Amino acid sequence: MGGAKKLFSQGESMFGILKPQRKLLSESENRRHMSAYCSLCGFLRSQYGLKSRMLVVHDIATLWWLLEAPSCVNDQNLPIGNCVRGGAGKLRKRGVSELQKFLAAMSAYTIGIKVKDDITDGSNWKTQMASWMYSDQFEKARVDLIAVGFNVEYLEQILSTQFDMERKGENDFKIASAPTSQAYALVAREIVRRCHSHFTEEQAQQVGESLGRSVYLADAIRDFTQDQGTSFNPLCIEAGPQNHTLPKDLKDRVLTFLGSNLSEAGNFVAQTGEELKRSWHAVERSLLAAAGINDQKSITLYSSCCIPCGDGAIILDGDECGKAISGCVCGSICCCFACNYMW
């Protein structure tokens, strides 16, 4: 249910970008991801009422799915709800753990922050309606986060930094993406602290930083034309008001940074096993697709010796794919999205 994105945004939103390309998942991981999403829906209903199922945020469900180690529970027993019949309502009968309370509260709180931000910027009728319908849930979510030991004030400091950057018109995309990176890192660390995971808290923090930055940059690339002259976007500011399409040199720089950023986190994931590595690839592909990187025409290289820019990752389009592969020497590891992810 992409309800949060459709109901609360004045156009496109960053919410919903962080999700896997399900066609790339194994059957068991596909079902586990669906279970995470349905379970989060059930947790929200349990804690905040039936209408709060609209507050499910893909990013929270996907972070949980990635970071929590698969249990020994048989795939067929994983909870998957029927939205038409009231979602995952039966899940609430089993009780809600501290982790589940945290996930539900964070999902609702995230939407609340988005609504508050939109109202500040000049909201449309959808946002005004959302504020009226869910104000009690948003307030309760903040209280619940504090109750489970989450440092809400620190997260709000991060968000305040983001708002300050927007007001000042920050044009450096690396600087502008830092608060989102820090926010995802904080949430990722809190998830791992409350569940059994293959990741340490420090590793989860780095994975969260990578995903948060990547979500921000993919959204900035995708919405460049829409944001030009209307909404804050560091790429629009750097490109200048005369450009209604993202200049190629700027896009290449952002994609290079994005690819390098993902590869660093991918190094941690690669150590956890093949199944999680495949899941990471599915999320990575989804993020790159949001940034406009086509499966059939693009390649990402993770290596240290055949990178012209020297930062460990490049992204090339079209005819350059073959040249890049042939240019890889020194036994470096490459992954080619056009060639079924070779690594």
Give residue-wise pLDDT tens across range 229-257: 888 999 999 999 999 999 999 999 999 99
Total structural domains within the chain? 2
Does residue 242 sit in the same domain as residue 140?
A: yes
Question: What distance, in Å, lies between the first and last C-alpha atoms of the chain?
Answer: 34
- Say which CATH number the domain at 277 has: 1.10.600
**Burial zone of 48 (CB within 10 Å; 0-12 exposed, 13-18 middle, 19+ buried):** buried
Give residue-wise pLDDT tens across range 155-184: 999 999 998 999 999 999 999 999 999 999
Domain end call among 248, 268, 291? 291
In this prediction the pTM is 0.80
**Cα 88 from Cα 71, distance rounded (Å):** 19
Going by the DSSP 8-state scheme, the letter that residue 218 receives in this structure is H
- Structure tokens, 289: 């697709």
CB neighbours of residue 142 within 10 Å? 18
Give residue-wise pLDDT tens across range 292-341: 886 544 444 433 333 333 333 344 433 343 334 333 333 333 333 322 22
Domain that holds residue 332: 294-343
Give residue-wise pLDDT tens across range 249-283: 999 999 999 988 888 888 878 877 777 888 998 99
User: pLDDT band at 76, cuts 50/70/90?
Assistant: very low
Q: Is 208 a residue whose pLDDT tops 70?
A: yes
Strands 313-317 and 298-302: antiparallel
CA angle 310, 311, 314 (to 5 degrees): 90
Q: Output phi, psi for 67, to 5 deg.
A: -90, -30
Does residue 241 sit in the same domain as residue 327?
A: no
**Cα 287 from Cα 142, distance rounded (Å):** 29
Does residue 337 sit in the same domain as residue 203?
A: no
Does residue 191 sit in the same domain as residue 339?
A: no
**Burial zone of 85 (CB within 10 Å; 0-12 exposed, 13-18 middle, 19+ buried):** exposed
Return left, alpha or beta for 316; rule: phi > 0 is left, psi -120 to 50 is alpha, else beta. beta
List the one residue out of 24, 59, 18 whose CA is nearest residue 218. 18
